[in-house]
Chains A and B, each alone.
Chain A
Amino acid sequence: MPGVLGEIDLKLSDPGSIMARMADAIVAEGLVKRYGSVVALDGLDLVVPEGTVMGLLGPNGAGKTTTVRVLTTLLEHDEGTATVTGLDVIADAKELRRRIGLSGQYAAVDENLTGFENLDMVGRLYHLGKQRSRERARELLERFDLVDAADRPVKGYSGGMRRRLDLAGALVAKPRVLFLDEPTTGLDPRSRLGMWDVIAELVAGGTTLLLTTQYLEEADRLADEIAVIDHGRVIALGTADELKAQVGGERLELTVSSARDAATAKAALAPLAISEITVDERGQRLTVPVSGGADVLVDGVRRLDAESVKVLDIGLRRPTLDDVFLTLTGHAAGGTDTERKQGEKAE
């Protein structure tokens, strides 16, 4: 029956927007939030497809936490609309809270309760019932490697353990959408790596995740797509690779001992450059845009050696998200990142 098939065809090709909306776990349009004269969100737009990880990247005060609070119904925005799993964050707030999990910037666990008691309490408040709450608490303690500490008050937990417990708390009701606000801030490097593994495993299971972070590396590692936020607005959106492409490709950076050597080096490396070679004002530092990875570095060193150029330092630099941030906003992402970059240069 061609008529019927025709109708089906029509429905399938019908406004993609409806289909698209069904598949978008988070949709925010033109969010504005003011605190007196301070504008925390200034027309923020965000779409997170179901089952993907969105990284909100930005320095302190950019509006990351405010965004999470609006989307998790903790804060009412002044303008714009926001839906999570199709539910409006203001009108359907109560139903929405059943479907989301939130782990905040500070591990919001009760220090005086044990790990088990914390999770059991959260289960009861999600109205899972006594039996189910207990089972779920045990499951999560096992999953997050906290079984041994389960019956000890949280007071004695390490920072990493607290964060894991807090994350477990956000997962009690098996939420469809998970919000993690700076999940690794304040953790030592080892605990951070552990946390990343836990989160990566989690999203492999298909949970939609909105993650905020100040750590560029973290967004790069965990997020499918990154929204760079500054002054309450998304100033760039894309995959880590897309953002890097925006800033430019790899480059060879070298320092020589004199301006004369610099001129020689510039001539020697010219065949490798894919665009113009720049020399800094002191005339000792060259940046050569290249493509081809480590081979180019080896080739470059050979060419310099053939011309007897005295090289003080040479390296192949791939753009990092730090560069993305610097290019987009004109300032570094945060004090620690600037320091880290300086540390790298010093090495």
Chain B
Amino acid sequence: MSAFTQALGDGAVVAKRNLIKIKRVPDLIVFSTLSPIMFVLLFAYVFGGSIAIPGMDYREFLMAGIFAQTVVFGATITGAGLAEDIQKGVIDRFRSLPMARSAVLIGRTTSDLANNVIVILVMSVTGLIVGWRIHSSPLEALAGFALLLLFAYAVSWGMAIVGLMVRSPEVFNNASFIAIFPLTFIANTFVQESNLPGPLKTFAEWNPVSAVTAAARELFGNTNPMASEPSAWPLQHPVLMTLIWVVVFLLIFVPLAIRQYRKAVAR
């Protein structure tokens, strides 16, 4: 058995363990889907009336943004889960076993991806109920979902580093919120980035979350026919830019996360 297949095999064992948790503690999935549903309703009915997107219905505009925000939040489970495992000594046990060093991380990110798939399904239904429609081909729509999940998967590895460093789920949650809120709000997720003031506009244009949101909009056929061509390169080529972000994230985060795992011990 090569090192790589062994890592995948061990990763599958760990992923199965995490998925059993989703099954045994259904509250987790319930709450991780309830909050995005709440966001959809909040923006569609409360803020939606005050946010005008000339040329299209706000709800059509909104959904890709909410999808992006939700999968990024879903990715934070990776960090919280690892921090909890460290705290409980489970990582010590894993690290004393003759398993691949990357396996716990592969398993964790994979099961969190599965979690995100479930959340996206529930959200899509909610979106359809409030009036969101996909105007592209099924293949393009599928590509849109795949891109969102791929993006979240790459972000997961970054969250893993933080989770392994802070070693406490509570600290991790506070720390990740500080990073995730600006990333998901100073973006084209809920408003058009062109309306943002100077520096925030530049931030939003180069924000990876904006790229994946614009890409999903494009692939779902939810783009605004009346909007002018975006001025920044990333938003002119959102699909390509998202893929670039994914590759860059994985190249940086995967080795760093594995390095951090090798050193991780409970206090």
Interface bin, chain A? 20 to 34
Q: Digit string of A87-121 for contact with B (CB within 8 Å is 1, else 0)?
A: 00000001101101110111111111100010001
Determine whether the beta carbon of B97 is less than 8 Å from that of A106.
no
Cβ of B13 to closest chain A Cβ, rounded Å = 5
Instruction: Assess the B20–A108 pair: CB atoms within 8 A.
Output: no
Flag if A73 contacts B96 (CB, 8 Å).
yes
Q: Does B259 contact A (CB under 8 A)?
A: no
Q: Which residue of A lies closest to B24 (CB)?
A: A112
Q: Is the CB of A113 within 8 A of B17?
A: yes
How far is A75 from B92 in the complex, measured between Cα atoms in Å?
10
The interface residues of chain B lying within 8 Å CB-to-CB of A94 are: 98
Q: How far is the CA of A102 from the CA of B91 in the complex (A)?
A: 12
Taking CB as reference atom, which chain B residue is nearest A124?
B13
**C-alpha gap A106/B17 in the complex (Å):** 19
Given A105-B89, A108-B88, A125-B13, CB of A72 within 8 Å of CB of B96? yes
Quick check: B13 and A102 within 8 Å, CB to CB? no
Q: Given contacts A74-B265, A97-B98, A113-B20, are A121 and B89 in contact (CB under 8 A)?
A: no
Does the CB pair B21–A112 fall under 8 Å? yes
Residue from the list A97, A113, A121 in contact with B96, Cβ < 8 A: A97
Within 8 A of A (CB), among B70-104: 88-90, 92-99, 103
* Contact across chains for A125 and B10 when beta carbons are under 8 A apart: yes
**Chain B at the A interface: SS class:** helix
| Most B C-beta atoms less than 10 A away, residue of A69, A110, A122, A153 | A110
Whether B97 pairs with A97 at a CB distance below 8 angstroms is yes
A300 at the interface (CB under 8 A from B): no
B95, A74: Cβ atoms under 8 Å?
Answer: yes
Docked-complex contact A106 and B98, CB < 8 angstroms:
no
B25 within 8 A of partner (CB): yes
Interface residues of B in 1-52 (CB under 8 A from A): 6, 10, 13-14, 16-17, 20-21, 24-25
Interface size on B, residues (CB 8 A): 24
The CA-CA distance from A126 to B94 in the complex, in Å, is 10
For B16, list chain A residues within 8 Å (CB): 121
The yes or no answer to B166 lying at the interface (CB within 8 A) is: no
A74 close to B92 (CB less than 8 A): yes
Asked whether, in the complex, the Cβ of A104 is within 8 Å of the Cβ of B93, the reply is: yes
Residues of B within 8 Å of A331, CB to CB, are none
Does A127 count as interface, using CB distance less than 8 angstroms? yes
Q: Give the residue name and chain of the B residue nearest to A166 (CB).
A: B93
Quick check: is A289 within 8 A (CB to CB) of the other chain?
no
Bound: A67/B21 CA distance, A: 33
A124 CA / B94 CA spacing, docked (Å): 12
| A108/B92 contact (C-beta < 8 A), A74-B265, A153-B24 known | yes
A104 to B94, CA, bound (A): 11
Q: How far is the CA of A46 from the CA of B10 in the complex (A)?
A: 34
Taking a contact as CB atoms under 8 Å apart, the answer to whether B95 and A110 are in contact is no
Is B266 interfacial (CB 8 A cutoff)? yes
Q: How far is the CB of B122 from chain A (nearest CB, A)?
A: 22
By beta carbon, the residue of chain B nearest A169 is B93
Given known contacts A121-B13, A121-B17, A124-B13, A110 and B90 CB-to-CB distance under 8 angstroms: yes
A residues near B88, Cβ cutoff 8 Å: 106, 108, 111
Residues of B within 8 A of A72 (CB): 96
Interface centre among A104, A109, A169 (most CB of B within 10 A): A104
- Cβ–Cβ < 8 Å partners of A106 in chain B: 88-89, 266
A112 to B: closest C-beta gap in Å: 4
Closest-CB distance, B265 to chain A (whole angstroms) = 5
- CB–CB B98/A127 < 8 A: yes
| Contact status of A108 and B89, CB under 8 A, knowing A69-B265, A121-B13, A125-B10 | yes
Q: Which 4 A-B pairs have the closest CB atoms?
A: A108-B89, A108-B93, A97-B98, A102-B96
- Residues of chain A touching chain B, judged by Cβ–Cβ distance below 8 Å, are 69, 72-75, 94-95, 97-98, 100-102, 104-113, 117, 121-122, 124-127, 153, 169
Q: List 27 A-B contacts (CB under 8 A).
A: A69-B265, A72-B96, A74-B92, A74-B95, A74-B265, A75-B265, A97-B97, A97-B98, A102-B92, A104-B92, A104-B93, A105-B89, A108-B89, A108-B90, A110-B21, A111-B88, A112-B21, A112-B24, A117-B17, A117-B20, A121-B17, A125-B14, A125-B97, A125-B98, A125-B99, A125-B103, A126-B97
